[in-house]
Structure 1
Amino acid sequence: MQNVTLKVQGMSCNHCVNSVEGAVKKLGAAAKVDLAAGAVDVQYDDNKLSLDDIKAAIEDQGYDVVA
């Protein structure tokens, strides 16, 4: 399992939290959003998913992954 923290711009409310966490969960990973920090902690199996897949899922929700 891999753990990574991504900086994500554009999140401001609980809808944002639900959108990001839900998109990552659909991929089979776990995510915890920290709105104040503008960050998403992600835990995933790198044998099943790539970090690029996770970033794409977040960006598909309308947010910008900056790191």
Structure 2
Amino acid sequence: MPTTTYTVTGMTCGHCVSSVKTEISKINGVTEVDVDLSSGMVRVDSTTPITDADIAAAVDEAGYEIAS
């Protein structure tokens, strides 16, 4: 099971965490999303490899950005 991590910028509250988690969870193949508000780290477990572009699009849909 592939696991990838990202840093998301702009999250400031529990609602932010929930929004990011919800949008990433919609990606086909994603089995678990763990978001840490204090560090901005997002861990994504999936049954198949997920592209960085898919994650970036989901995070953008939630209103945030992947740190570059």
What count of residue pairs does the alignment treat as equivalent? 65
* Structure 2 unaligned blocks of 5 or more: none
Q: CA deviation at 1:55?
A: 1.6
Provide the alpha-carbon RMSD of the alignment.
Answer: 1.3
Whether 1:33 and 2:55 are equivalent positions in the alignment is no
The superposition leaves residues 19-64 of structure 1 with CA deviations (integer Å, 9 ceiling, x where unpaired) of 0110111113121100111111111221xx3221112111121101
Taking structure 2 as the reference length, the TM-score comes to 0.83
Distance in 1 (alpha carbons) for counterparts of 2:53 and 2:3: 14
Equivalent residue for 1:9?
9
% identical equivalent positions: 37
